[in-house]
Amino acid sequence: MQKKIITRFAPSPTGYLHIGGLRTALYNYLYARKNGGQFLLRIEDTDLKRNSEEATQAILQAFKWCDLDYDGSVEYQSRRFEIYKKYIQKLLDEGKAYYCYMSKDELDALRSEQEARKQRPKYDGRYRDFKGTPPAGIEPVVRIKAPQNGEITFQDGVKGEVKFKVEDILDDFIIARSDGSPTYNFTVVVDDALMGVSDVIRGDDHLSNTPKQIVLYEALGFEVPKFFHLAMIHGEDGKKLSKRHGATDVMEYKAMGILPEALLNFLVRLGWSHGDDEIFSLEELKKIFDPHHISKSASAYSFKKLEWLNAHYIKTLAFERLNLELKGLGFDLSAVSRGEFLLDLLRERAKNLLEIIASAKSIINEPNSYDENAVQKFINEKSLKLLAFFETELNQQRKAKEFEDFTNEFLQKHEVKLKDLAQPLRIALTGSAVSPSIFEVLEFLGVGECKKRIQKILKIKG
């Protein structure tokens, strides 16, 4: 029988949730969901100085926005110190770990010596077999007895076989600091093992931790999980993704009017593919995602691609779904009469929800001012005259298509072209020369409102 897939996302709450972190979370989530397994969320908040409740909330908020659910309740490492203590004691009792009484000065001296000899700084094992009386006044750290030579090898689901030479990477590293607090590598191993995590998908910035963690799994007698190390996302210039390339905070994307559907679709493709397909819903991904198809190199972050996906989802999602996001941005189209009609009008060419909100507002609200450049270009004696005729002849409410026929007849009669009327009319109705199909706007606003707005511009500019 295949082992149950249990994955986890284990962020350290030091700030907002980075989009690289969201991609890691997504891959873990999808792998668990695809296999009917479990996806856990564990907050690694043992560094009390660097972690904050605010950052934890930011992570939870981002999960909620993206509709990523996790199994069970959120685990907090800060509440598990007793468990770590127990396992540290176990290793001490079994002689697999030991107290080290080296002072900071001694450690510094050792490091300088090694640096002078151009050696990698590492602990020299001087307390490994210490049997004497410990020096007074020193609170010891606890170190693991790590292998001293040979290789540590594992099969990475992304990178294939990964080999580390013990001499290059290991020493008897610290598992508990002098204040008794456990170190990162130790807590991760204990938690992953006790929580039954079968597969660890994480950024390859953790690759060098993996041999240390394998040493700990083995010392503790736990089964080593399968690892998948993801190549970091980089910008189009090949450099590691940073603020310089654009927003990195997940919630900043929400504020920019990006849909979570688009962001997740975008992130899943940064390092994973399924044929030539580009569009994936979360539901579909839950059926097809396989981390064994993650590529060794991540593709580059491209905001254009994200916008392209966003435009796709804006075009295709249901009114209720889009409106929920709009509400999250403080704008509710269900409170607007014919709001759904208006959304259909606007969604065809919007790249983000902010554009929709701005256009919707410019249509719903009678203009208080007019775009200066547009006025200069399109409003003059001739166009105002044409608007006046149009206002007079506008007689009854119609569908957009019928407004088009009506307008064509009007243009013929006055021997002018659509371009002579369309822009001045747009300015009159919405305040600027950019709006969706003018006939749809006429239908949405209705004859009475259109007449009122044309009269207003005639009065102000006439």
- Name residues whose C-beta falls within 8 Å of residue 331's C-beta, 6 or more positions apart in sequence: 357, 360, 361
Q: Which is nearer to ligand GLU, 201 or 314 (CB)?
A: 201
Catalytic residue (choose from 243, 304, 417, 459): 243
Distance (Å, rounded) from C-alpha 297 to C-alpha 406? Answer: 58
Stretch that binds ligand GLU, among 8-16, 96-104, 134-142, 219-227 (CB under 6 A): 8-16
CA dist., res. 6 & res. 15, Å (int) = 26
| Contact call for residue 11 and ligand GLU (CB under 6 A) | yes
12 versus 56: smaller Cβ distance to ligand GLU: 12
Beta carbon of residue 194, minimum distance to ligand GLU (angstroms, whole number): 14
Active site residue 243: yes
Match 């992304």 to its residue by tokens.
158
Residue 191, interface with ligand GLU (CB under 6 A)?
A: no
**What is the footprint of ligand GLU within residues 31-50 (CB under 6 A)?**
44
Nearest approach, Cβ of residue 449 and ligand GLU (Å) = 54
DSSP-based three-state secondary structure for 142? strand
Give the single-character DSSP code of 4. P
Dihedrals φ, ψ of 18, to 5°? -80, 150
Among 97, 188, 197, 336, binds ligand GLU (CB under 6 A): 188
Contact present, 129 and 168 (Cβ < 8 Å): no
Contact indicator for 343, 322 with CB cutoff of 8 Å: yes
Q: How far apart are CA 66 and CA 60, in angstroms?
A: 10
143, 202, 212, 453: which one binds ligand GLU (CB under 6 A) = 202
Nearer to ligand GLU, 213 or 359 (CB): 213
Which residue type does 426 have? R
Q: Which of 202, 229, 267 is CA-nearest to residue 23?
A: 267
Q: Which stretch binds ligand GLU (CB under 6 A): 4-12, 93-101, 103-111, 113-121?
A: 4-12
Helix or strand holding residue 268 (H, E): helix 260-268
- Cβ proximity to ligand GLU: between 205 and 236 the closer is 205
* Cβ 12 to ligand GLU shortest distance, Å: 4
Strand partners, 41: 9
CB atoms within 10 A of CB 110: 16
- What is the pattern of x (binds ligand GLU, CB under 6 A) and - over residues 205-224? -x------------------
* Cα 373 from chain centroid (whole Å): 38
Candidates 10-18, 47-55, 96-104, 152-160: pick the segment binding ligand GLU (CB under 6 A). Answer: 10-18
6-14, 27-35, 317-325, 429-437 -> range binding ligand GLU (CB under 6 A): 6-14
Does position 182 interact with ligand GLU (CB under 6 A)? The reply is: no
Residues that bind ligand GLU (CB under 6 A): 10-12, 44, 188, 202, 206
